[in-house]
Amino acid sequence: MSLFRPAIDRIEGYIPGEQPQETGWIKLNTNENPYPPSPQVIAAIQQAASERLNLYPDPLATKFRRQAAPLFGVDPDWILPANGSDENLTILLRSFADANDLVVYPYPSYILYETLADIQGARHARLGLNADWSWNAEICQPLVEQAKLVIVPNPNSPSGNRWTDDEILSLVPPRGILVLDEAYGDFCDQPHRAEILRRPGAERVIITRTFSKSYSLAGIRLGFAIARPELIQGMLKVKDSYNCDTLALAAGTAALADQAWMENNAARIRATRQRLAAQLTALGFQVVPSQANFVWSTHPTISHQTIYEALKRRKILVRFMRFSDVAWAPQSQFNGLRISIGTDPEIDALIAALQQIVPELLRATS
Ligand SMILES: *Cc1c(COP(=O)(O)O)cnc(C)c1O
């Protein structure tokens, strides 16, 4: 007999990408930033560590919120930091989704949303996307109508495409909340800073952002939500009192203060992304035009799992992803490779490996 809640026994649990703990890997599987964080971040962590670690952190993260707010043209009471944006997603589920409420999200996308809805014991449904990653109104509209919570990553993962603000606003449920997960927002060609929140119809939109990707701080767990103060007020009741620690808040505040560092790295990643997409296309892959720090690529004839394994033998890790019950391929399994943008030498090594692997596998299949 299990002592767990049935909701927990039913789920498998979210499986994060591989995190090898030894060095020597070219790691292109979990969308980390290949460049280090700003030196000002390291200095701020050292400073904070030398001060008052015996005391609890500021439960309201006042300094952090003051630093973040003007970057998005809002007041500090629009900002809620959390222990990674994954914690903000947990806070959102706990704040808005009761057992009979419906939580929906596009599919394929970030599968953690489904796990969190399951843990919360909420009902959930997938908004099946079209083969070109556009919205399928026939599938989506009736579900959005009934939803309490719609969660949309923009740019999407694993595809990397970005939907327009008009498309996003059409997904705000009439009696619920739209969560816009902008984990990859800083990598878009058109920079944007929560302008969508000022559009009519965005009153019930909540944006989440993270330091893990554009600010090179996946090892420091910090993210934040941006929304109207009435919404933030309610979420404050749900969060742990001290959900963000002193070192994370110091790091995040310093990272936000050095915008030039983040923007310079994001620009390098965009340039490398363009180069990688062109090389993959030359090797026969289909590549979705990406606005994020990764590309989604599929090969028409070679098994993606085989390519993934061949790369892994060369100590290059990419993400092999499979999705079942995809709207346009309900009977088969849809799969492909999600490749994070590394440094130029890392991407050169990947391309050189693929230039060997792909012709070999093509010969083997013909
Ligand atoms: C990486 C990622 C996150 C996680 O961010 P953390 O701040 O590291 O928890 C959230 N959403 C999406 C879509 C992501 O890809």
Instruction: Dump pLDDT digits (tens) for 263-273.
Output: 999 999 999 99
pLDDT tens figures, 141-168: 999 999 999 999 999 999 999 999 999 9
**pLDDT confidence band for 210 (50 / 70 / 90):** very high
Separation of CA 361 and ligand 1 centre (Å) = 34
Domains plus CATH for the chain? 6-35+260-365 (3.90.1150.10), 39-258 (3.40.640.10)
Q: Is the CB of 153 under 6 A from ligand 1?
A: yes
Best residue among 80, 212, 217, 296 to mutate for probing ligand 1's pocket (most ligand atoms within 8 Å of CB) is 212
Give the residue whose CA is nearest to atom 2 of ligand 1. Answer: 183
Phi, psi dihedral angles at 96 (to 5 degrees)? -120, -15
C-alpha span between 331 and 329 (Å, rounded): 6
pLDDT confidence of residue 344: 98
pLDDT higher than 80, residue 235: yes
Does 248 sit in the ligand 1 pocket, CB within 6 Å? no
With a 6 A CB cut-off, is 223 part of the ligand 1 pocket?
A: yes
Q: Is 88 in the pocket of ligand 1 (CB under 6 A)?
A: no
Q: What is the pLDDT of residues 302-339, one digit of tens each?
A: 999 999 999 999 999 999 999 988 888 877 789 999 99
- Does the CB atom of residue 183 touch ligand 1 within 6 A? yes
Mutate to test the pocket of ligand 1, among 30, 83, 85, 105 (most ligand atoms within 8 A of CB): 85
Q: What confidence score (pLDDT) does residue 101 get?
A: 97
Q: Let me know the angle formed at the C-alpha of 191 by 189 and 196, rounded to the nearest 5 degrees.
A: 120
Whether ligand 1 lies within 6 angstroms of the CB of 128 is answered as: no
For residue 210, report the distance from its CA to the centre of ligand 1, in Å. 7
Q: Which atom of ligand 1 is nearest to the CA of 223?
A: 7
- 282 CA → ligand 1 middle, Å: 31
pTM: 0.96
Beta bridge partners of 179: 151, 206
Q: Measuring from atom 12 of ligand 1, which residue has the nearest CA?
A: 183
Helices (H) and strands (E) in the chain — how many of each? 12, 12
Residue nearest to atom 14 of ligand 1 (CA): 183
Cβ distance 344 to 305 under 8 Å?
A: no
- Once rounded to an integer, what is the mean pLDDT over residues 236-260? 98
Tens of pLDDT, residues 7-27: 899 998 888 888 989 899 999
Per-residue pLDDT at 16 = 85
At residue 1, the pLDDT reads 82
Cβ(336)–Cβ(158) below 8 Å: yes
* Residue 242 pLDDT: 97
CA angle 323, 327, 332 (to 5 degrees): 50
Residue 191 sits at φ, ψ, to 5 deg, of: -65, 145
Contacts of 338 (CB under 8 A, 6+ apart): 29, 157, 158, 294, 295, 296, 318, 319, 321
Query: Which atom of ligand 1 lies at the shortest distance from residue 222's CA?
Result: 7
Model pLDDT for residues 283-303, shown as the tens digit of each residue:
999 999 999 999 999 999 999
| Residue pLDDT, tens place only, 73-129 | 999 999 999 999 999 999 999 999 999 999 999 999 999 999 999 999 999 999 999
Please check the confidence at residue 366 and state whether its pLDDT lies above 80. Answer: no
Rounded Cα gap, residues 252 and 224, in angstroms? 10
Map tokens 């994070």 to a residue: 340
- CA–centroid distance, residue 52 to ligand 1 (Å): 29
Does residue 216 have its Cβ closer than 6 Å to ligand 1?
Answer: no
